[in-house]
Amino acid sequence: MRRLLIIFSVLTLLAFAALFVGAGHTDRYFAWTINPPATAAFLGAAYAGGCALVFLSLRRGTWSTLRVPFVTILVFTLVTLAATVVHLDKFHFAKSGIALFAAWFWLAVYVVVPLAMIVVLISQIRRSLPEPGPRLPIPRPLVAALLTQSGILLAVGVALFVAPATQAVLWPWMLTPLTARTVAAWLVAFGLGGLLAVREGDLARLDVPATAYALLAGLEIVVLIRYAEVVRWTAPATWVYLALFVLIMVCGAYALRRIYRHRLSRAANHPLDPRHVR
């Protein structure tokens, strides 16, 4: 599992560079052409959030901290595979050079990675030992905020995947059917991740997701500002988008503050135990 997630971290970092940094050059350096570049940047920011989620979880090295990130990424890869199969004709298989390589590489990754993750997940579940109950309950206001933002992400994600034409109402800028479904993959994955975090019920385990989600939200707000010329500023979806990602940032900051205060308190009560200040 560790090796598989390390590979995924590297791939998501490469995707961030190709899409967020090189948003205007997907016709030459990516698996398919993404227009407008705002969509490429949005996907690149999502890959950055996914990379942070996996990388920070790996540093903890326990299944209890990896479980939610692992399932989140698995759902993303499966939905992305479905979008790829539906729109295979849009990929750069007829081109040459880097674009052709990127198309085949994308297809290989999204066929092999989800299958490998399912095998590893089944093995991990069979080996898992019972875990202690929640150590730090999630405050009710934070639970309500997490459920709200996760519900919005899931609802918009499912709608965009099932009926990509709803992008005209649900998204701040124009999406094609393929980009609507790839955006949907991230929305569904992160929405489900939020619900799983609430189900875990332990705020002490949420510092990694909180950090990754705050990074994601910050970058997505940057995308909105960076590509303001293509944004439908009069559309309600734009302001829902902005409010949602501001809410995610605020929730992430609040959760991290509560977690670190809890750890400092435990460290003060148990100064000789390094586990309380990790």
Q: Say if residues 208 and 65 touch (Cβ distance below 8 Å).
A: yes
- Judge whether 86 and 211 are in contact, CB under 8 Å: no
- Is residue 189 within 8 A of residue 75, CB to CB? The reply is yes
User: What is each CA distance from 227 to 34, 69, 182, 184, 222, in whole angstroms?
Assistant: 14, 29, 19, 20, 9
Lowest mean pLDDT among 39-48, 70-79, 120-129, 246-255: 120-129
Instruction: Report residue 97 as tokens.
Output: 């050079």
Own/partner contacts of 64-68, CB < 8 Å, gap of 24 or more, are 64/131, 64/205, 65/205, 65/208, 66/1, 66/5, 67/196, 67/200, 68/193, 68/196, 68/197, 68/200, 68/205, 68/209
Residue 278 has pLDDT above 60, yes or no: no
* pLDDT value of residue 125: 80
pLDDT of residue 19: 95
- For residues 215 and 147, give the distance between their C-alpha atoms in angstroms, rounded to a whole number: 19
What local confidence, expressed as pLDDT, does residue 276 receive?
A: 47
Q: What angle do CA 242, 197, 47 make, to 5 degrees?
A: 55
Average pLDDT, the chain: 89
pLDDT for the residue numbered 118:
93
pLDDT tens sequence across 202-255: 888 888 889 999 999 999 999 999 999 999 999 999 999 999 999 999 999 999
At 270 the pLDDT is: 60
Phi then psi for 142, rounded to 5 degrees?
A: -70, -40
pLDDT digits (tens, 9 = 90+) for 22-52: 999 999 999 999 999 999 999 999 999 999 9
